[in-house]
Structure formats: structure tokens, C-alpha cells
Amino acid sequence: MAAAGAAATDLEVVRGKRAALFFAAVAILLGLPLWWKTTETYRASLPYSEISGLNALQLRLMVPVSVVFTGESVPLDDQEKLPFTVVHEREIPLKYKMKIKCRFQKAYRKTLVYEEEALSMGSIQEAEAMLAESQEQAEGSLTVYVISEHSSLLPQDMMSYIGPKRTAVVRGIMHREAFNIIGHRVIQAVQAMSLTEDVLAAALADHLPEDKWSSDKRRPLKSSLGYEITFSLLNPDPKSHDVHWDIQGAVRRYVQPFLNALSVTGNFSVDSQILYYAVLGVNPRFDPASSSYYLAAHSLPHVINPVESRLGSSAASLYPVLNFLLYVPELAHSPLYIQDKDGAPVATNAFHSPRWGGIMVYNVDPKAYNASELPVRVEVDMVRVMEVFLAQLRPKGEGLMTWELDRLLWARSVENLATATTTLTSLAQLLGKISNIVIKDDVASEVYRAVAAVQKAAEELASGHLASAFAASQEAVTSSERAFFDPSLLHLLYFPDDQKFAIYIPLFLPMAVPILLSLVKIFLESRKSWKKPEKTD
Amino acid sequence: MAVTYSSTRRGVAVLAGLLLLSLGSVATSQFEEQAEQFFRSGHTNNWAVLVCTSRFWFNYRHVANTLSVYRSVKRLGIPDSHIVLMLADDMACNPRNPKPATVFSHKNMELNVYGDDVEVDYRSYEVTVENFLRVLTGRIPPSTPRSKRLLSDDRSNILIYMTGHGGNGFLKFQDSEEITNIELADAFEQMWQKRRYNELLFIIDTCQGASMYERFYSPNIMALASSQVGEDSLSHQPDPAIGVHLMDRYTFYVLEFLEEINPASQTNMNDLFQVCPKSLCVSTPGHRTDLFQRDPKNVLITDFFGSVRKVEITTETISLQPDLGVLESRYSS
């Protein structure tokens, strides 16, 4: 009986051992990986290597230039060598991690018949008119016409001329080294029209690791995907002034053409309003010498804030807003002049704040008060007003001529690429630093799209297609911003290690202790059984 | 543009001489300009994020704290569109408020900080850690209205003020969750990576407030706290009529300090560091400036609390023709 009982307990012991081993196997082999996988943060795969490769991207900005020689511009034997292509490549020395090279690809050729005709016209304007009607040039490309040394197309002392529509005219020379000399002149003309170091430095100003203290020289208008422009007429004294302004006509005539030209770079929307009983926050001082009122230069910064809350412009859209205010001072404070730092009245009677907009003071003509009784009807001279507003709106030198628009596109493309690269790199860095940010699949696809767009933009820039390069760079910026600012990227709330232990220990410890103890017991017993044969021997 | 080739050498010599002369004068004026710019901060706009994290009537003082800072910031010029105000509970219309529609900050009801034009952006249960982090990092769902967003850019100076109940390394939100100093530091780092601020001033009035700024690692952040680790921030005055403490000591003295500031004043940050010494505050206020590039004595209070705009006189005009014609053709591309 005892033997049968002993055999039964042996069997049970063996079964018990097997059961413990199975439990342990399931827990360790199945449970542990399952727990690990289900508690990790989901990260869709991202092209980290390509993102770091973007930083070392070599940007080649190619400007295709056609250099067209007329009959007597260069010696005959030089003319025989046409057509051929010369490439002039220059590295832009900016302290930026992306290397930028400017490549001017000059295709030298002889004139065609209609070009020869046009260039033998009397004046340069006629020549340009005739040339313009026959060809349309792609964005970013330039044409330089080389005329003879003694041609009368240009005034005698003028060696080169830069036209408004991507063309330039340069004088040729009858010399042995004609091509070299003319090559230099062409490069000078072309560089003035397209890419210089200043343009690129300004575009990349936010990304260059320079001293912060030249920040004031940065471009006043940060490039954004769109702007909202608001024109406001402030009439603090409607009892005395009945002010009318033809803002719709003025916008249509003067502002809209400029915005249409810039429309390729972003969305611009314009609106206008009239505010009554809106005063400036600063009291003007009376100047007995000129019997007028003035606003001193140091009080100007305090004018904007009290007025801004009345403008109500921030409710409308998410684009940055530019406000242009026209202030008609009250009768008691007329005429009102703005003084500069030296105390002299400013000719334009206007001031502006970068990235905010501008304010102009419009004084009513004193003659209007003579005849009629109050309120006096005031018709605002929109031309004078728009001259000032456009000067405030337009950062220097943008958008006047076609090649200036091209220059804007070059600058914006480079800036967009820099911004997109920085955004993607920051995202990769953040994901490395903060381990519990989730990356969903659609965010990952945005990142892939952004990377592809950056690479495509770089390719298009290298082959000289400015329009498609700019479009690709815009897409790169929008995709990268969308990926970075996706609401799902909020890092999961941080759990310090002791809290993690506090959560898991009550779950795992009661289960783990019996398993571990039985494993230890099994191990000790099997060690004993290995040692037994030695003992008996 | 006349580019002469023959007289280049002579021209170059003259030009070089002129350049050397002008370089001398340019260099000195540039140095002066640089020196002046060194002291200026380079920001063009100001934002403020003011957060009160406690609810319940007995935490009246936290709402009063936040509203006092809100009032100062508005008085010094930051418009409502640039302020994100988060109040976790409504004290002015609380059923236990004996003076409805008011929140007082001084004993004997001298100063009602809940004036006529308070604009609360996040109210009551909307004040959560998640919403706060979303506001800071900009990861906001697209349907959020503009007034609830922090639309700062790389040239914005941001003031962040937080008050409530806190501990060593955390701040309690709404009595149900908390934000740790690590999350806050990570949020600031994300703001820095995306260049959402030029400079940041972080002020916190809670118990053990200094622990909240210990973990910051992004540049251009200056932090002030009402008490060190291990110390409690104490409240200031109870009001027998209302029945609760009206303000915390640190913010009370900061408010007194700010009432002396006007938009044109030249007071700097070193004066703000001296506010509320241990004799008045019982706790020891702390500050952290190692991440900040400029010297605090060159930082004006109005750089963060006010909104002084940089203006330039418009000296140029574009000449326009009164009729269309010539102008339009110049713009067409």
C-alpha cells in the first residue's frame, strides 16, 4: 500500500513539475513578448536615413541663360564657333549645412531673323516690344542679347541694359578675347537679375547660425502660405468729418495687380472696414511754431496697441494679418504730423511696424472748412494713400519686374526647402528624444511625401525648372508642417519609473512568485539527482 | 547700369580708397548699432499663456492670481488676441460668491480683477494637461477657434504663468491629473524645435515651484518660482466677507510691483527677482537664468509683460499713375 501511495505521489510530483514548467514556459515565452508588444508605442516606420540625408543635400540652382549674338557684335572667327554652351558654377559661401551652388548655363547662339530685326530698331523699348510678342520665357530663364559695340540701340555710354521681362542687352566687343570679356559682362548682368548671395542669405536668414543680433536685418515679411490684408479707415470725429474713400476702386487698380503677380507665392485676401470713434492711444502735442499737432517718434510704438483691439481682424482666418490704417485726425487735433527722431515732420506722414502693418495720418485740407458747415465732406485722395501703403506692404524690391518675381521664387524655393528640412529633422530628433510619441500611418505617409517633395524640388532646381521646383517646395513645406503639427503627435503623458513599477507589480508579482519558487525547487531537486550518482560511486 | 571696362583700374583704386574711409566710419557705427542691438531682444510680438489649474471655491486665490497677471499684461499692452487665459473654475459666478461677478485681489475689496473685458479662452473642464500641452506645442485639432490657439512665431516673446497646487516635480490640474516637470520641459523643447518662441519667461506660483523649472533644457528660457523645493508657497490675506484667501503672497507682491510699471518704463528683470523677499513671502522665491542668452539686467519687464512694438518711419513711397495703363503692364508676368 505504501509503495502504491509512494508511486502515486511520485506521479503527482512529476505531474506537478511538468505543470510548473509549462506555466513558466507559457509565461516567459508567450506572455512576456505579448506584453512587451502590446505596451510599446506604435511607431509607423519613417525614413530616418533619408531625413538625415536631406541635411547634406547639395542644392544646385541652375539658371538657363541664352546669350544671343547679333551680326557685328563679335569678330567673325568667333562667330563661326557658335553655337556652344558655357557653364559657370559658383558656390555660395553661406554658413549653412546645405551646400548651395549657383550654376549659370549659358547657351551661346546666333540671332534668329526676327531677333535681328528687333535689335536693329531705333530704341530699346521698341526692340523689347517686338521681342516680347514673339516669345514667352519660362520662369527662371534669362536671355541676354549681345549687340555691336557701336550700335545705337542703347545710349552711347551705356554698356548694358536690364529690361523688365527677363531680357538684358549687353554691348559686344571686337577683340581677340571677345567671348571671355562678354562672358564676364553677361554674368554680371545675369547675377543682378537672378541670384546673388544677398538674396539667398536673406531667404535663409532664419536658418543660418549667425549672430542673433543681425535679426533686424531679416526680411520684414516672413514668408507664409498666405496673408490677409486689411485696410481700415479710422474716423474719430464723425461730427466734423464725413469721410469717404473709394477703397474698392483703389484696391482693384493698385493693390490687386501687385497681389495677382504674387499670387503664385501664396493666398492673399483683402478686406476693408471703417471704424468710427476710434482714437489713437496717444495724445498729440501742440507745436506753436507751426500751429499744428505732432506725434513724437518715441510715442509711436504706443499707438498701435490700443487701436489693435478694435480692429477685429484676428477673428477671420488663420493666416497672418497685415493691417493698414488710415487715420483722419479730429478737428481739435488737426493738422497732425508725425515727427521723426530729429523732430522734423515726416513727408509721408506714416509709419509702419514690421510684420504688423502701417498707419498713415491723413490731414483734411484746411480749405474745406471755409465754406461749409460741419460735418465737412472729405474725399480721400486714394492715390496718395495707396502710394504709402504699397511702399509699406512691399518689402524692398519685390515684384516689380518679371525677373524680380523670379528672384522671389528662387528665394522662396530655397527657404521652403530649408524650412521643410529643418522640420523633418526636428521631428526625427524629437522622436529620438521623447520615447512615447505615437506615429500613426497617415503621419508617416505625410513624412514620406515631404521627403519625396524635397528631393523632387532639388532635382527641379538643378535642371532649371523654377515653376515646378517652387510648387514642389511648397508641397514639401505643407506636408512637413502637417506631419509635425498633427494632433496625434502629443507625447503620451510621462510616467516616472516608480509609477510604472507601482502599476505592474500588483499584477505580475502574485503570478510570478509561485512560478519562480517552483522553478527554483525543480532546479534544486534536479541538481540533487545529478549529484546522487556521484555519491554512490 | 553703366559697366565700364576700360577705366576699371582707376575706378577700382578710387573705390578702394573710398571704401577704406567709409569702412572706418561704418565700423564704428556698426559697433554702436551692434551694441545697442545686443541689449534689445529682437522680438516683434508678445504672447501670454496664463493658467490657473485649481478648481473649487477654496482655491479662489489661484483664480485671483491669474486674473491679476492677466490684468497687468493687458494694461501694459498685450491684446486679448495674444493672450490665452485658462481658468479651471468660475469664481465670479460661483454660487458661494457673496459678491457675484467680481474676483477681488485686495483685502476690503479694493481691486476687482474680473473687470468688464475679461476673455477666458479655456474655462472649467477644458483646462486639462492635454489641452495645455496642445496649446504650447501647436498640435491643435483643426476645428479650434483662433482665440484658443497660440499662434506665436520665431520672434514672439511668450510669458507663461502657472498657479495652483504643486509638489516636487509636478503641478496638479483640476484635482484629477498632473503635469510633471519633464513633460513641461519636453513641451518647451518641441516649441524650440519649431521655433515657436524667441524668448520665454516662465513664472510659477505653487508649493515647491522651483522643481518645475529644474528640468528645462531648451535655450532662451528664464524661469521664476515662488518657492524652493521643500517649501510651501503661502497665501496672503483672508477676507472675512468673502471667506477665503484672496491671493498668494508671491503673486500679490508681483502685482504690486507690476502696478508701478507703465508701457514706457525701463525696469529690468533684476528688480523682478527681488520681489517678495523671504521676510514678506516666508518662502524663498527662486529663478533660473542659465538658459537665457541675455543678461537679466538688460531684459526689460515690458519685453515680456508688455507689448511695445518696433516701429519705423515710412520714408519711401511707390509712385503710382492715377489711371491704369502703364502700371498694369509692369505687373503682368
Q: Which of A308, A388, A394, A466 should we substitute to test contact with B (largest number of B Cβ atoms within 10 Å)?
A: A308
Helices (H) then strands (E): counts for chain B = 8, 11
Dihedrals phi, psi of A270, to nearest 5 degrees: -120, 135
Distance CA A352, CA B244 (A): 48
> How high is the pLDDT of residue B257?
92
Q: Does residue A348 contact residue B317 with C-beta atoms inside 8 Å? A: yes
Residue B15 lies in a domain: no
How many other CB atoms sit within 10 Å of the CB of residue B262? 13
Of A143-157, B20-34, B275-289, the poorest mean pLDDT is in B20-34
> Which triple of cell numbers denotes residue A469?
521646383
Q: B114: domain range?
A: 45-305
Contact A323, A313 (CB under 8 A): yes
Give the ipTM of the model, two decimals please: 0.75
Residue of higher predicted confidence among B68 and A533: B68
Contacts B129 to A, Cβ<8 Å: 493
| pLDDT at residue number B188 | 94
Asked if A484 has any chain B CB less than 8 Å from its own CB, the reply is yes
Strand partners, A243: A378
The residue to which cell 523688365 is assigned: A164
- ∠ Cα B308 B310 B315 (to 5°): 145
Contacts B186 to A, Cβ<8 Å = 433-434, 491, 494
Contacts of A390 in chain B (CB under 8 A): 317-318, 320
Check CB contact of A304 with chain B, cutoff 8 Å.
Answer: yes
Please give the pLDDT value at position A537: 56
Strands B45-52 and B156-163: parallel
Whole-number percent of chain A with pLDDT over 70: 90
Q: Residue B75: what pLDDT?
A: 87
Shortest CA gap A303–chain B (Å): 9
Q: Name which residue leads in pLDDT, B23 or B46.
A: B46
CB contacts < 8 A (A, B): 179
Render pLDDT for A367-423 as a digit per residue (tens, 0 to 9).
Answer: 888 777 888 888 999 999 998 998 888 765 444 677 777 888 888 888 889 889 989
Helix (H) or strand (E) holding A503: helix A497-536
Interface of A with B in 13-42 (CB under 8 A): none
Residue B290 CA, chain-centre distance (Å), reads 18
**Catalytic residue positions of B?**
165, 207
Is there a domain that residue B262 lies in?
yes
Q: Burial of A34 by CB count in 10 Å (0-12 exposed, 13-18 middle, 19+ buried)? A: exposed
Percent above pLDDT 70 for chain B:
83
| Contact (Cβ atoms closer than 8 angstroms) between residue B83 and residue B47 | yes
Residue position matching grid coordinates 530663364? A141
Band of pLDDT at residue A329, cut at 50, 70 and 90: very high
In-domain check, residue B30: no
Q: Would you list the DSSP string of B148-193? A: GS----TTEEEEEEEES-EETTEEEETTTEEEEHHHHHHHHHHHHH
**Distance between CA atoms of residues A168 and A156, nearest Å:** 16
Mean pLDDT of B155-162: 94
Q: Quote the CA–CA distance of A508 and A53 in Å, as a whole number.
A: 44
Q: B21 lies in a domain?
A: no
Q: Which of A60-64, A113-117, A411-415, A463-467 has the lowest mean pLDDT?
A: A113-117
Find out whether B114 and B103 touch, Cβ atoms under 8 Å. yes
Tell me whether residues B312 and A257 touch, CB distance under 8 A.
no
pLDDT number for residue A214:
44
B98 min Cα distance to partner chain A (Å): 32
Q: Yes or no: say if A482 and A448 are a contact pair by the CB < 8 Å rule.
A: no
Q: What is the pTM of this model?
A: 0.79
The residue among B166 and A316 whose pLDDT is bigger is B166
Residue type, A319: Y
Q: Do B238 and B293 touch, CB atoms closer than 8 A?
A: no
Query: Hey, where are the domains in chain A?
Result: 62-201, 226-393
d(CA B95, CA A62): 71
| Peptide bond before residue A375 is cis, with ω within 30 degrees of 0 | yes
Query: Nine-digit cell at A325?
Result: 490704417
Asked if residue B227 is part of any domain, the answer here is: yes
Residue A517 CA neighbour count, 13 Å, CB half: 6
| Element of type H or E holding B286 | strand B286-288
Number of domains, chain B: 1
In angstroms and rounded to an integer, the radius of gyration of the C-alpha atoms of chain B is: 25
Q: What is the CATH number of the domain that holds B275?
A: 3.40.50.1460
Q: Is A302 on the interface with B (CB under 8 A)?
A: yes
Contacts of B183 in chain A (CB under 8 A): 491, 493-494
Contact yes or no for B198/B222 (Cβ under 8 A): no
Q: Is residue B9 domain-resident?
A: no
Assess A417–B contact: CB distance below 8 Å, yes or no: no
- Sign, CA dihedral B187-B189-B190-B191, equals positive
Residues in A touching B139 (Cβ below 8 Å) = 485-490
Asked whether residue B22 is domain-assigned, the answer is no
Backbone torsions φ then ψ of A415, nearest 5 degrees: -65, -40
